[in-house]
Copies of this chain bind each other. A is one copy, B any other.
Amino acid sequence: MGTICTFGEILLRIAPEKSGEKINQTDIFRITAAGSEANVAVALSNLGKSTRCISIISNDIIGDKIMRKIRESKVDVDYIAQKSGSTGIFWNENGLSVRASDVIYDRAHSLFAETLLDKAFIEKALEGATWLHASCISPAVSKIACDNTIAIVEMAAAKGIAISTDLNFRKKLWKWTKSADEIKAVYEKIASVCTCIIGNESDYQDSFGISGEYDYIAKQIFDRFPNVKYIAASNREAFSASDVDWSGRLFTRENGIKEYLSNKYILTSICDRVGTGDSFASGIIYGLNTFEDKQKTVNFAVALSALNHTTIGDFSYFTIDDVEKTINSGGNGRILR
């Protein structure tokens, strides 16, 4: 089994350190590394997979801070390029109860947005890879980032590397083009080389213009994109920022389309929900690269991402053992001693 590569921007995440404080109310913030694809690499590495991040950040102590955060989880950081410039930022004011989380981006002029990657660099970065994960956030960031994304997925496809994407439609980010057609074309280019697509109903509407129930969506996607073998979606029934019923589903193209529904977790007292979609994606990729059993895959993904609601920050530090205990207990929280 080779390395799972991820490609995307690595950001500084700045959030009030104390739950219950607004950005304009406090001076004390927690600054960590995040970014959809780095989240996936870290989660998979902590589950024991060989992983590598492909990205570009600044070559100062701020960049070094990020490197450390990712390297500590044993992710290969040799293809996180470092250059003089600025690293993207997102501010997160964590929601609580009826108050939603608020996300503010400051990444328009980051190195990731403004640097066209060298083909040779990409080629070397993919060496030894058997899977590449690249979410559809990157193409939204800038024209250059979009070009880089398409370049890397196409090169990966050419090499026979399996590809997954997370649709992750981010309305606030799409600025270099507002044309729905142009956006759709980007999504289609990426989807056409993917083995696995992860996304929610609204993502399909916003990106491909497909709306309907999941089985309808799945059929459409499988029909349009013959390379796609798996379609996965988490299901968040949100009662408040602190209370969510959490489950997921996985469609496979076997003899016809088959749907695997996960068990459901009733999440209360949620600590930090940003990044939980990424840990769902991580669980799906983990399962597809580990288990024969697709039911096990979706159950694993849902349990992993349920756990990720209970810790601070985007990154998942959970081990296989943590996930299994949660599956076995149904998340009842009993202490084993």
Supposing A61-B24, A99-B333, A268-B268 touch, asked if A69 and B72 sit within 8 A by C-beta, the answer is yes
Whether B172 and A96, one on each chain, are in contact in the complex, defined by CB atoms closer than 8 angstroms, is no
> Do most interface residues of chain A lie in helix, strand or loop, or is the interface mixed?
loop
A52 within 8 A of B: no
Contact of A335 among B18, B101, B306 (CB under 8 A): B101
Q: Please choose the segment from A119-127, A209-217, A226-234, A307-315 that sits at the chain B interface, where 4 or more of its residues have CB less than 8 A away.
A: A307-315
Considering the chains assembled together, what is the distance between the CA atoms of A269 and B269 in angstroms? 6
Contact of A14 among B31, B240, B265 (CB under 8 A): B31
Considering the chains assembled together, what is the distance between the CA atoms of A28 and B274 in angstroms? 19
**Which residue on chain B has the smallest CB distance to residue A238?**
B332
Supposing A98-B310, A238-B333, A240-B333 touch, asked if A17 and B28 sit within 8 A by C-beta, the answer is yes
Q: Please choose the segment from A159-167, A282-290, A323-331 that sits at the chain B interface, where 4 or more of its residues have CB less than 8 A away.
A: A323-331
Between A31, A108, A267, the greatest number of chain B beta carbons within 10 A of the residue's beta carbon is seen for A31
Considering the chains assembled together, what is the distance between the CA atoms of A244 and B334 in angstroms? 10
Whether B61 and A333, one on each chain, are in contact in the complex, defined by CB atoms closer than 8 angstroms, is no
- The copy count of this chain in the complex is 6
Supposing A21-B312, A31-B29, A72-B71 touch, asked if A93 and B334 sit within 8 A by C-beta, the answer is no
Number of residues in A with C-beta < 8 Å to the partner?
85
Contact of A97 among B31, B310, B335 (CB under 8 A): B310
Supposing A22-B317, A23-B61, A71-B71 touch, asked if A326 and B99 sit within 8 A by C-beta, the answer is yes
A248 within 8 A of B: no
The interface residues of chain B lying within 8 Å CB-to-CB of A100 are 325-326, 329, 332-336
Within 8 A of B (CB), among A74-129: 74, 86, 91, 93, 95-106, 108-109
Chain A residues within CB distance 8 Å of chain B: 14, 17-25, 27-32, 60-62, 64-65, 68-69, 71-74, 86, 91, 93, 95-106, 108-109, 170-173, 238-244, 265-274, 303, 306-307, 309-313, 317, 322, 325-326, 329, 331-337
Q: List 25 A-B contacts (CB under 8 A).
A: A20-B271, A23-B61, A24-B61, A25-B312, A28-B28, A28-B30, A28-B31, A29-B30, A29-B31, A71-B71, A97-B306, A98-B267, A98-B332, A98-B333, A99-B326, A100-B325, A100-B329, A100-B335, A100-B336, A102-B335, A105-B337, A172-B336, A238-B334, A239-B266, A241-B333
